[in-house]
Amino acid sequence: MDQHHAYAKSMPARGHNTALSFSPNEPQELPRYFQELEFLFASSSVTNNVDKKALGIHYVDHNTSEQWLLLAEYEASGIDPTTQTVILYSYQDWKTAVISLYPGVDNATKYSMANLDQVTGEARRADIKTIGQFATYYRKFYQITKWLVDSSRLGSLKRDRLFWTGLSNKLWIAMQHRLNIIEWDIRPGDPYTMAQMKAAAKFVLHGTNTTILNTAYALQVPGMFIRRNNQPFGSSLSLPSHHIPVLPPVPEIKKEEYEQRIAKMDTKLEAVLALMRPALIQACNHYKNPPSNS
């Protein structure tokens, strides 16, 4: 297509700061590249397959454009080697062929369990200590597992069990302290949901840095040493008072929250007693009026 085509007036010039771009070093961005390209087609009234293909290679580097040009689907038509009949290649045919050059970017193989193992492993090695770190891990984990669950490659229960494997032992113990209070009625063996674990982590990590890891401090966990610069301080370490870090207080559980939980426990207790009441009445009647031995 002539570079001075009428579309050039409404399509951004190559190299302009508003122009599309695609790097073969970031193949995962290819679907987004085509999505934005097709948005420009619609706004510029580009409907011809030949023009769409030409514009598709217009914004990529020389080597990439050469690879995309060599695809048989770039031509307007071809010959079917089996039937020896003419095949017309559309823009969509060419787009599919381009995507096939980059394994892993198509929706059929977007993520795998190996990707999930990598995310949980990296998070555990990072030793999450701040709400910012936790949020990063949560987003990555959710992004992968949402696709795996929707594509029936992972069950929701297994997803919830895998989530905490990316957390350090110290953080997980602190979260369990919270979960034992808030989610006390979870049946043994049932995993906490991601939403429940997220809420517990937000509570435990409240007051920590939202963006950057604060390496000087670790979590405050009941019954465990507080550490400064990876050195525990207690009876075995004497520091001047001005060297002891001032840590934020552990957030208190609100009175209203306790009252709600107590009310919930009362409701469940009443339900249990209602189920047991007939048996208790029968037992009382039995002892009041024992059957005669005669």
Please give the average per-residue pLDDT across 50-57, as a whole number: 91
pLDDT value for 166: 94
Task: Give the percent of the chain with pLDDT over 70.
Answer: 78
Please give the average per-residue pLDDT across 239-247, as a whole number: 41
pLDDT value for 7: 56
**Averaging pLDDT over each range in 7-11, 181-185, 200-204, 249-253, which range is the top one?**
200-204
Nearest CA among 141, 103, 101 for reference residue 120: 141
Structure tokens at 173: 């113990």
This model's pTM is above 0.75: no
Chain center to CA of 267: 36
Poorest-pLDDT segment among 88-97, 108-117, 233-242, 262-271: 233-242
pLDDT value for 172: 92
DSSP 109: G
pLDDT value for 105: 76
pLDDT value for 251: 57
Please give the average per-residue pLDDT across 200-228, as a whole number: 59
Residue 37 reports pLDDT greater than 70:
yes
Count how many residues are written for the chain: 294
pLDDT tens readout for residues 61-104: 999 999 999 999 999 887 777 787 888 899 999 999 998 898 87
Q: Which residue has the tokens 């002891």?
A: 244
The confidence band for 252, taking pLDDT boundaries of 50, 70 and 90, is low
pLDDT value for 240: 39
Cα 76 from Cα 88, distance rounded (Å) = 6
Average pLDDT, the chain: 79
Contact yes or no for 144/115 (Cβ under 8 A): yes
Please give the average per-residue pLDDT across 230-240, as a whole number: 36
Which amino acid belongs to residue 283?
A: A
Q: Where are the alpha helices (DSSP H) in 30-155?
A: 30-44, 49-58, 62-69, 91-100, 113-126, 131-150
More confident residue, 173 or 14: 173
